[in-house]
């Protein structure tokens, strides 16, 4: 393991209980999924607007 990796890990998780670190991981995963859903919806909206403008 590189020293920089260990330093980053310590900075992020230092002082946290295991349950807190686990909850943080869960929240980060949920945030990632929600951001992907939002991006997918934005693409859908852009596609529908483009289709709608071509039909006029």
Confidence of residue 49 (pLDDT cuts 50, 70, 90): very high
Please give the Cα distance from 26 to 14 (Å, whole number). 17
Q: Is residue 41 part of a domain?
A: yes
Q: For 7-40, how does the pLDDT look when each residue is reduced to its tens digit (9 = 90+)?
A: 888 888 888 898 999 999 999 999 999 999 999 9
Q: Is residue 24 part of a domain?
A: yes
Domain holding 33, by residue range, is 18-56
Total number of domains in the chain: 1
Q: Is residue 37 part of a domain?
A: yes
Q: Is residue 4 part of a domain?
A: no
Q: Please tell me the predicted confidence (pLDDT) of residue 14.
A: 85
Q: What is the DSSP letter of 19?
A: H
- Taking 90 as the threshold, does the pLDDT of residue 55 lie above it? no
Please give the Cα distance from 48 to 8 (Å, whole number). 43
Please give the Cα distance from 30 to 26 (Å, whole number). 6
Q: Is residue 33 part of a domain?
A: yes
Q: Is residue 51 part of a domain?
A: yes
């Amino acid at each position: 393991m590189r020293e920089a990796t260990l330093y980053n890990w310590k900075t992020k998780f230092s002082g946290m209980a295991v349950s807190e670190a686990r909850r943080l991981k869960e929240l980060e995963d949920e945030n990632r999924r929600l951001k992907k859903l939002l991006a997918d919806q934005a693409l859908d909206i852009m596609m529908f607007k483009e289709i709608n403008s071509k039909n006029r």
